[in-house]
Chains A and B, each alone.
Chain A
Amino acid sequence: MTHQPTTPQFKANSRAAIADGGLQEQMTKALGNSMAKRAYASGALPEFDQLRDAARDLKNHTLAHLDLYLEAYESKVQADGGQVHWAETAEDAREIILNICRSVDATSVNKGKSMISEEIGLNDFLEEKGIAPVETDLGEYIIQLRKETPSHIIGPAIHVTVPQVREAFRTHHPHLPIDRDLEGLDKLLLEARAELRAKYFEAEVGITGANMLIAETGQSVIVTNEGNGDLSQSLPKVHIVIASIEKVVPTLEDASTVLRVLGRSATGQEMSVYTTFSAGPRREEDPDGPEEYHVVLLDNGRSAMVGTEFQEMLRCIRCGACMNHCPVYRSVGGHAYGWVYPGPMGAVLTPSLIGLKQGGQLPNASTFCGRCEEVCPMRIPLPKMMRHWREREFERQLTPAGTRRGLRFWASAAARPGVYRAGARLAAWGLRLLSSGGRVKRLPLAGAWTDVRDFPAPEGGTFMDRYRPDADGKRGAKR
Chain B
Amino acid sequence: MTPETQAPETQAAEQARPPKIAFMATCLVDLMRPSVGFAAVKLLEDAGCDVRVPQGQTCCGQPAWNSGDRANAKRLARRTIEAFEDYDAVVLPSGSCAATIIKDYPEMFSAGDRWRARAEKLAAKTFEITAFLADVLPDAKVAAEAPAGVGKVTYHDSCSGLRSLGIKDQPRALLGRVKGVEVSEMVESEVCCGFGGTFCVKYPEISERMVADKARNAEESGAELLLAGDLGCLMNMAGRLTREGRPVKARHVVEVLAGMTDGPAIGEGSK
Contact = CB atoms under 8 A, between A and B. Distances in A.
A417 B55 contact: yes
Best-surrounded residue of A370, A389, A428 (most CB of chain B within 10 A): A370
A162 interface: no
Given A417-B55, A469-B52, A394 B194 contact: no
Interface string B221-265: 000000000000001101110110000000000000000000110
Best-surrounded residue of A367, A392, A439 (most CB of chain B within 10 A): A367
Contact of B206 (A14, A454, A463, A469): A14
A461 B243 CA distance: 25
A366 B31 CA distance: 25
Contact of A367 (B164, B192, B235): B192
Interface string B27-38: 101111111011
Interface residues of A, number: 71
Interface stretch (B4-12, B62-70, B127-135, B174-182): B62-70
Contacts of A327: 191-192, 194, 210
A459 B192 contact: no
B79 interface: yes
Nearest to A452: B208
B206 A424 contact: no
A165 B155 CA distance: 41
Interface stretch (A243-251, A280-288, A443-451): A443-451
Contacts of B199: 364-367
B207 interface: yes
A365 B203 contact: yes
A121 interface: no
A448 B205 CA distance: 9
Contact of A473 (B55, B70, B267): B55
Given A415-B58, A453-B211, A455-B235, A463 B37 contact: yes
Given A407-B69, A439-B267, A462-B34, A417 B164 contact: no
B98 to A, nearest CB: 15
A394 B56 CA distance: 28
A11 B211 contact: no
Given A415-B76, A474-B52, A452 B207 contact: yes
B244 to A, nearest CB: 9
A198 B32 CA distance: 68
Contact of B267 (A331, A424, A451, A457): A457
B27 to A, nearest CB: 7
B173 interface: no
Nearest to A398: B68
A102 interface: no
A348 to B, nearest CB: 14
B31 A458 contact: yes
A126 to B, nearest CB: 36
A24 B201 CA distance: 21
A112 B202 CA distance: 39
A458 B192 contact: no
Nearest to B212: A452
Contacts of B55: 417, 464, 469-471, 473
B70 A391 contact: yes
Contacts of A410: 59, 63
A417 B243 contact: no
Contacts of A475: 41, 53
Contacts of B238: 454, 456
B97 interface: no
Contacts of B242: 438-439, 453-454, 456
Contact of A394 (B53, B70, B76, B195): B70
A452 B240 contact: yes
A414 B34 contact: no
Interface residues of B, number: 74
B159 A453 contact: no
A51 interface: no
Contacts of A473: 22, 51-55
A393 interface: yes
Contact of B235 (A456, A462, A474): A456
A332 interface: yes
Nearest to B207: A452
A139 B201 CA distance: 35
A367 B96 CA distance: 12
A411 B34 contact: no
Nearest to A367: B196
Best-surrounded residue of B25, B58, B59, B235 (most CB of chain A within 10 A): B58
A436 B270 CA distance: 10
Contacts of B267: 438-439, 454, 456-457
A328 interface: yes
A33 to B, nearest CB: 15
Contacts of B263: 459
A369 B76 contact: no
B232 to A, nearest CB: 10
B52 A370 contact: no
Contact of B209 (A18, A448, A462): A18
Contact of A454 (B22, B34, B207, B243): B243
Nearest to A425: B31
Nearest to B191: A327
A374 B163 contact: yes
A327 B210 CA distance: 7
Nearest to B240: A453
Contacts of B240: 452-454
Given A366-B199, A367-B194, 9 more contacts: A24-B209, A364-B202, A367-B159, A389-B68, A391-B70, A392-B68, A414-B59, A436-B269, A456-B239
12 contacts: A367-B194, A367-B195, A367-B210, A374-B163, A407-B67, A417-B58, A448-B200, A448-B201, A458-B31, A462-B34, A472-B52, A474-B52
Q: Enumerate the 10 nearest inter-chain pairs by beta-carbon distance, A residue then B residue, closest first.
A: A367-B196, A473-B52, A390-B68, A456-B267, A453-B239, A438-B269, A369-B192, A394-B68, A411-B72, A452-B208
